[in-house]
Amino acid sequence: MLLDGQWRTVSVRPDEQEVVVLPGDLGSVDDLVRGGPQALAAAQAAQSTAPVRRLDPALLGAPLTRFNRDILCTGWNYWAHYEESAGRREGQDPAERPRHPTFFTKGPDTVVGPYDDIRYDARVSDRWDYEAEVALVIGRAGRSIPAERALEHVFGYLVANDVSQRDLQRAHGGQWLKGKSIDDTMPLGPWVTTADEIGDPAALRIRCLVNDEVRQDAVTGQMAFSVAQLIAELSWGMTLRPGDVLLTGTPAGIGNARDPQVFLAPGDVVTTEVDRLGTLHNRVVQL
């Protein structure tokens, strides 16, 4: 949170009206994620004597800014979304439903804060689409993690919107990286809710509104592959490390699948909500 001209790590109180300003020597949220249980315990202990400030959402920045690698993502992870896009993938429809999660990555320079502008560039694309998602951040390293232990590796959860350029997504050999990696297009936040506050992540309601019109509305229990399954499959033979961020897929209702299709335009306001995780509120602004 930006306080007196400096970025400070804060702990948001349950009423979401106040924050506790943590001591600077505890570092950033990225440091707390990588510091393991000891770092989190130190942050919790410091709250009893740390100063309290009123929460001003407009002063929040992206809670995570230091990434180990590209942001990890999941496609087609709600069957309703998979089915709604049938015939609209411009020759990229699979022959059958995927039997395993579909993974891809997007560049870390996509990330903006929970109230920052989405930077629209008409020269790049005119098919900008919204994708409300639950994101998670890994807090404990692991390789070939069994599904029954997977949630033990989650530090916490965030809200994300995987704004995508559909024409670019189709134009590069069926690989989605380019159409998912335009700078300053993925709101993330508004904070990290630690895993112990959530427990089972299968009962979170997720919504996306554009100019106050509901476009997506689902619950995470409708995922084709659960959070635990995603972590198990992704980590099979591949080490996940503290600080890795994984998006878990978007539900039905995307603009590309509507009839007629509807895409984002400058001036649109995109609101992304997940129960118990918070809200992102971002305006689409022409470069």
Residue ranges of the domains in the chain? 2-59, 71-286
Which pLDDT score, from 0 to 100, does residue 85 have?
78
> CB atoms < 10 A from the CB of 182, how many?
23
Which pLDDT score, from 0 to 100, does residue 170 have?
87
Place of tokens 């949630």: 151
Which pLDDT score, from 0 to 100, does residue 174 have?
82
Which pLDDT score, from 0 to 100, does residue 201 have?
98
| Distance between CA atoms of residues 119 and 130, nearest Å | 13
Which pLDDT score, from 0 to 100, does residue 86 have?
79
Which pLDDT score, from 0 to 100, does residue 242 have?
98
DSSP label at residue 142? B
Ranges of the chain whose pLDDT falls below 70: 87-91, 95
104 in Cβ contact with 218 (< 8 Å): no
Which pLDDT score, from 0 to 100, does residue 91 have?
65
Which pLDDT score, from 0 to 100, does residue 89 have?
66
Domain 71-286: CATH superfamily, name plus number:
Fumarylacetoacetase-like, C-terminal domain (3.90.850.10)
